[in-house]
Amino acid sequence: MLEQLKSDLTTQDIQVNKGDIEAARLWCVKQGAPDLLIVDGGDCLGLEASLRKLAEYCPPQMKLIVLGKKQEVSLYRSLMFAGVNDYHTTPLDADAIRLSLLHLQGHQVAKPLRHGRVICVLGSTGGCGASTIAANLGYFLAEQQHQFVALVDFDLFHSQHPILLGADYDPHLENIIADAERIDETLLAHSSQQLTKRLHLFYGQDSQLPQDDVQQPAETIQALAEHYATVIVDVPNLNHPAMPAIVEQADNCIFVTDYSLNSFRYLAKLRANAPLKHQRQILVGNLCRHAKGRVPKQEITKALGLELSVELPFDAKAFDKAEREGKPLLAERSKFSKKIHQLGQVLGAASAEQKG
């Protein structure tokens, strides 16, 4: 997890070493204390004594984050009283530890207390599988991670989400885009297609995004995040002026590449123009088709400054069966479903309760 965090925060100088608090103390003796230190307290036995020894070699201005297996309010309070800056339980939530690091380094990352996270899925070329990933990731987080999920498709002309999830079309996204300030539980109930108790779909049909008020789509997403634990946004492209604002506000952005030259150039331009410190950016490779002239993976990751987190296989049999039976791909085990599970783990997906 920390190695992944190191690759995510490319503007930060992060060094990862294995060991316990005593190993951290010995490192500080030899190397000197860093500006910020993360230590693993394990099962938290003898934690207070270990931290007291560590403190002898750390200046008061050093920021200290402690990790541990115990989930006790009393432990958290005692650590804060002792001067520890933050405490996170293991297994780690990637977004929580990343935001904690940025906050302790003076970045403005504060969000409302009851506010869901926003995940944008952006394809780098047409037909690279962004909608397939968005729909199945939403299904995974809702049905297997037990989160309350809003799945939003901004291709208002023709959404693929219903057919990908084995549902009939029932489009009503325009109801909430028209006036984000009116969004409440009643309006959401009438504007979403409730595929399951936890997964609600928002999409349009034979329509277009409004051109007169480009702020409405972004405001709609922020309003949805006040009612859902996770909002997944399928961004068809950045042509509409509302889309860059939505991507910029997202907590996580998944870039999908098919390794084509066009995909490579698009992502390189996007990364160069939008270095967002607060946002976690994840690169996903999709073997959705056999394009000629593929760009080598090593060249893509080096140029983008992003490691390839997950590579999705082209599982034709699983796709055909799901479409024929009218079921979500993740309803049955397959090579593709296994990789979507892996993507969910990369996102640090933990069970979350309904927001609002």
In Å, how far from its chain's centre is CA 67?
21
- How confident is residue 355, by pLDDT bands cut at 50, 70 and 90? very low
Cα separation, 13 vs 11, in Å, equals: 7
Whether 54 shows a pLDDT value over 70: the answer reads yes
* 184-229 residue pLDDT tens: 777 888 788 999 999 999 998 888 887 777 888 999 999 999 889 8
* 1-45 residue pLDDT tens: 566 665 555 556 778 888 899 999 999 999 999 999 999 999 988
More confident residue, 81 or 152: 152
- How confident is residue 142, by pLDDT bands cut at 50, 70 and 90? very high
Q: What is the pLDDT, as a whole number, of residue 283? A: 94
Which residues on adjacent β-strands are paired with residue 338?
Answer: none
- How confident is residue 274, by pLDDT bands cut at 50, 70 and 90? low
Mean pLDDT, range 66-76, rounded to an integer: 86
Q: What is the pLDDT, as a whole number, of residue 14? A: 77
Token pair listed for 11: 């503007």
Whether 128 shows a pLDDT value over 60: the answer reads yes
Token pair listed for 354: 């309904």
Using DSSP's 3-state secondary structure scheme, residue 49 falls into helix
Whether 337 shows a pLDDT value over 80: the answer reads yes
* 89-125 residue pLDDT tens: 887 777 778 778 877 877 665 554 457 899 999 998 8
- What domains appear along the chain, each with residue ranges and CATH number? 2-104 (3.40.50.2300), 117-346 (3.40.50.300)
- How confident is residue 140, by pLDDT bands cut at 50, 70 and 90? very high
Q: What is the pLDDT, as a whole number, of residue 110? A: 52
Using DSSP's 3-state secondary structure scheme, residue 5 falls into helix
Q: What is the pLDDT, as a whole number, of residue 292? A: 54
Question: Are the CB atoms for 140 and 330 separated by under 8 Å?
Answer: yes
